[in-house]
Amino acid sequence: MTNETKRRAEPSAALPLGPVDLQILLVLSDGDVHGYGLMKAVEEQSGGKVRLEVGSLYRVIKRMLTGDLIEESAAEPGLGASGRGPKPRRFYKISDFGRAVAAAEVKRLAEVVETARVQALIDGEKA
């Protein structure tokens, strides 16, 4: 079994996800988004707690593409940086593997929160 096959077979092998990766997967779970839109949606969805700079965004996207968490989807024509001509935007979507990894991460985090609640780290009361 190759590493890629193993990763696809076992979403838990990709855990834990970093906060940025999880935020990106959460945004893409609603539909395809281009890079700049993704950057803005992550910031909005996180209430400004997760902010991406353009350079770091594309490094994260490249890593997530390599890890099969996301995929490129259809490109839509847009204006280039100069505003003078069409430049295709790259759109991204969550992969089936990425969806499974996000679900596993959310479940893992819920278990962490429950443990914190039991240990009275949340709301100051033991469950």
pLDDT tens for each residue of the chain, 127 residues long: 355 554 456 999 999 999 999 999 999 999 999 999 999 999 999 999 999 998 899 999 999 999 999 999 976 655 555 555 567 789 999 999 999 999 999 999 999 999 999 998 887 666 6
Q: Dump the DSSP string for 41-110.
A: HHHHHTTTSS---HHHHHHHHHHHHHTTSEEEEEEEEEE-TTSSSEEEEEEEEE-HHHHHHHHHHHHHHH
CA angle 80, 31, 72 (to 5 degrees): 55
Q: What domains appear along the chain, each with residue ranges and CATH number?
A: 3-118 (1.10.10.10)
The backbone torsions φ and ψ at residue 87, rounded to the nearest 5 degrees and listed phi first, read -135, 120
